[in-house]
Amino acid sequence: MIYTVTLNPALDYIMELKDFKLGKTNRSEKEQLRVGGKGINVSVMLSKMGIQSCCLGFVAGFTGAKIREYVNENGLRENFVNIADGMSRINVKLTGLGESEINATGPKITEKEILCLKEKISGIKDGDILVLSGSVPFGVRDTIYAELLQLHKGKNILTVVDAQKDFLVNTLKLKPFLIKPNADELGQIFGVKINGYETAFIYAEKLQQLGARNVIVSLDKLGAVLLDENRKRYIQKAPEGDPVSSVGAGDSLVAGFLYEYIKGSDLEKSLEVAVKIGSATAFSYGLAEKGDIERILAEYEK
C-alpha cells in the first residue's frame, strides 16, 4: 500500500483574472474550488492510474470536512486525524496574469494530535511506500518529517520526501529513497539560483552527501533531472506544450514516477513517465484528466 501524508491540506480557491489593480475592486473571469495538498494530489493522480493509496494527515473544521468528502468521493482511502480547533486552510490563487497565491497558515496542531498521527503511521508495514510532502501547519517543528521517517528506521519501506528547506534537509540523515525538490526549493536550501541541468546536478549531489539516495530536481519547462544513488545522471526534457498552471505538476511527477517504478521499470524509464505525467498536469487547468494520463501511459505499454 502507498500512504501519502499531507500535514496541511487546503481548499484552493482559484480565480482567473485579466487585470488586477491593488486597492481596487477586481472581478475574476473564472473561478474554481479545488482540494489542495501535495500528498492528496499524489493520491488522486495514482488513483487515475489505477493505483490505490491511503491519505493521512490533519483536517479541521468545515473546510476539513470538505477535504475528507472530496477524498472519499474520489474513491481514495483516508485515515485523517481530526483537529479539535480551527479549520483547514483556504488558499487563494490568482491566474491569468502569471501565477500569484496567498496561502493560509493552517490550524495549530497539538502534541497529542501529532502523537495520534504517529500512531497511525506506525502501522505501515514492510513493503509499503510512504510519501511525505507539502507544507506544515502553524507551530509544527521542522523535524516532523524526520520524526515520521524515524518510526520506520530499519524497516523495508520505500520513503519519498517532497518538502521545503529544513523540513526536507532534516530527513536526509535517515536516507530517504527519493527526494524531489524543484529548482526554487533546491536553490533556497543552498542560497543559490538553479539555472539549468548542470547546477541542478551539482546541488543534488550535495543533498546526496547529506544522506539522500535518489534525487529528482524538477525544472519547470526544462523537465527534470535525476541523480541516482550510484551518482549516475539522467536528464528528461519536458514535452512541448502550453503550460496553464504549475499547481500539482510536481505531485503528478511523483505519482508518475511511483507508478512506473513499482511496476519494475528502471529509474530512467520511471523518470521519463514521471515528467510526461507532470507535464500533462502543467498543461491542464487542474490535475491532468484520466484520459490524458491513459494516452501517455499507452505510449510506454506498446
**DSSP-assigned letters across all residues of 261-278:** HHTT--HHHHHHHHHHHH
Q: Catalytic residue among 128, 251, 266, 292, which? A: 251
The half-sphere exposure of 296 on its side-chain side, counting CA atoms within 13 A, is: 26
Burial of 162 (0-12, 13-18, 19+ CB in 10 A): buried
- Is 19 among the residues known to form the active site? no
Helix (H) or strand (E) segment spanning residue 112: helix 111-121
Rounded to whole angstroms, how far apart are CA atoms 94 and 83? Answer: 29
First-to-last C-alpha distance (Å) of the chain: 27
Give, in order, the Cα–Cα distances in Å from 65 to each of 20, 87, 284.
32, 9, 26
Cell 493552517 identifies what position? 106
Identify the H or E element spanning 226.
Answer: strand 224-227
Q: What are phi and psi of 147, to 5 degrees?
A: -65, -40
Alpha carbon 261 to its chain centroid, in Å, reads: 17
Cell triple for residue 112?
Answer: 497529542
* Alpha-carbon span 69 to 99, nearest angstrom: 28
Beta-bridge mates of residue 204 = none
Q: What is the CA radius of gyration of the chain?
A: 18
Q: Quote the cell numbers at residue 208.
A: 546526496
Q: Which three cell numbers stand for residue 228?
A: 541516482
Cβ atoms of residues 147 and 177 within 8 Å: no
Q: What are the cell numbers at 3?
A: 500512504
Cell, residue 258: 511511483
Active site residues: 251
